[in-house]
Amino acid sequence: MRKSIQKKLTVCLCALLSAAVSACAAAPAASGSSGQASAAQAGEKKATIGVIQYATHPSLDNCYKGFLEGLKAGGFEEGKNLKIDFQNAQADNANSDLMAKNMVSKKYDMLAAIATPAAMSAYGAAKDTQIPVVFVAVSDPVAAELVQSLEKPGLNCTGSSDVLPLEAQLKMIRAFLPKAKKIGVLYTTSEVNSVSTLKRFRSLAPKYGFSVEAVGINNSSEVASGAASLVAKKVDCVNNFTDNNVVNNLSTLLQATDGAKIPVFGSEIEQVKNGCLASESIDYVALGEKTGEMAAKILKGEAKAPETPVYTVREGKPAYSKAVLQKLGLTLPSGFSDAEAVG
């Protein structure tokens, strides 16, 4: 009996010693795990962003390019500590809405949206969640009801705004076309940014001796008929905004205007490269980069979307097409000798 008790005590003692050794061996692993957690908190956080680009055209492509560069500058690089689900809505609001809802259901860390319609879809899907939305190139975020004000968004949504330099654009048109009286505008009636910009453009045009003839379209399939309507109205030139349906189908617009020798002024340099006469051009790569930096700060917890002012660019740089200038038989105005020449 006594030997049996001693044997049991020996077994228990061995078990206790074994457990103690195991605990000591495991201690460094726990310490290492704690270090990894601290590193993640110190800036090595991994994140997943759902990106919706509304359409495929150079200015929006440049926004996305800059956005990735800005994220990288802020410490988030795709393939390392960043996963991106990039989707293109192909200028279809229904696609944009569905993409946003799917991304929200997957509980991504952030939604990013390029262009106003995509931003409206993203915010509409995420507004009742904790997922922040960062938009790129939204001309009028207040009118789109994405923010309460540019300085204090208030909602879980912020980003960058491309407020077109309309007055500088009107000065440019007057310089290139001294005798012009009527400017044509083609715009999508459902694009909030286009409606808002047209209102500003109409209010400024008389100051420079212009009237504005606007033709509204419902979708991209109406660009051709809308362009033909402007030609029939005998406009002296056409001015583009950042309307996605129009810019995405620029070649269709130019086909109508080139035949009538009507100059088209773009809203950024990529449109000039693709056949417009000139533009006071916003740098969309730089705009995207700034937005990417904002997004990185929000992901790291250094900033909150409702408290982050919308970054707004209001100035452009003049650019013109030498080929189009020559084709139209025009001369470069003296005040634009320093403008960037393309084509």
CATH 3.40.50.2300 fits 46-163+283-313, yes or no: yes
Per-residue confidence band for 18, with pLDDT thresholds at 50, 70 and 90: very low
**Alpha carbon of 5 to those of 9, 10, 18: distances in Å?**
6, 9, 20
Using only C-alpha atoms, the chain has a radius of gyration, in whole angstroms, of: 28
pLDDT at 119 over 80: yes
Strand-pair partners of 111: 50, 133
pLDDT at 186 over 60: yes
Per-residue confidence band for 324, with pLDDT thresholds at 50, 70 and 90: very high
pLDDT computed for residue 27 by the predictor: 38
Amino acid at position 111, single letter? L
Q: Where are the domains of the chain?
A: 46-163+283-313, 166-281+317-342
**Residues whose CB is less than 8 angstroms from the CB of residue 305 and which lie 6 or more positions away in sequence, other chains included:** 132, 133, 134, 153, 155, 156, 157, 158, 298
CA 34 – CA 28 distance, rounded (Å): 10
pLDDT at 15 over 50: no
Strand-pair partners of 214: 185
Contact 117, 55 (CB under 8 A): no
pTM exceeds cut of 0.85: no
Mean pLDDT (the chain) is 90
Overall average pLDDT of the 135-152 stretch:
97
CA 99 – CA 104 distance, rounded (Å): 9
pLDDT 10s digits, 223-276:
999 999 999 999 999 999 999 999 999 999 999 999 999 999 999 999 999 999
pLDDT computed for residue 9 by the predictor: 36
pLDDT computed for residue 23 by the predictor: 38
Q: Does the fold of domain 166-281+317-342 match that of domain 46-163+283-313?
A: yes
Strand-pair partners of 50: 85, 111
User: What is Dmax (Cα atoms) for the chain?
Assistant: 120
pLDDT computed for residue 44 by the predictor: 63
pLDDT computed for residue 94 by the predictor: 97
pLDDT computed for residue 343 by the predictor: 78
pLDDT 10s digits, 204-231:
999 999 999 999 999 999 999 999 999 9
Nearest-5° angle of CA 148, CA 154, CA 158? 85
pLDDT-wise least confident of 3-7, 131-135, 216-220, 331-335:
3-7
pLDDT at 135 over 80: yes
pLDDT at 120 over 70: yes
* Torsion sign over Cα 288, 294, 299, 300: positive
Which CATH topology does 166-281+317-342 take? Rossmann fold (3.40.50)
Q: Where are the alpha helices (DSSP H) in the chain?
A: 2-39, 58-73, 93-105, 116-126, 166-176, 192-204, 223-232, 244-248, 250-259, 269-273, 284-299, 322-327
CA 330 – CA 179 distance, rounded (Å): 12
pLDDT computed for residue 1 by the predictor: 41
Contact 304, 298 (CB under 8 A): yes
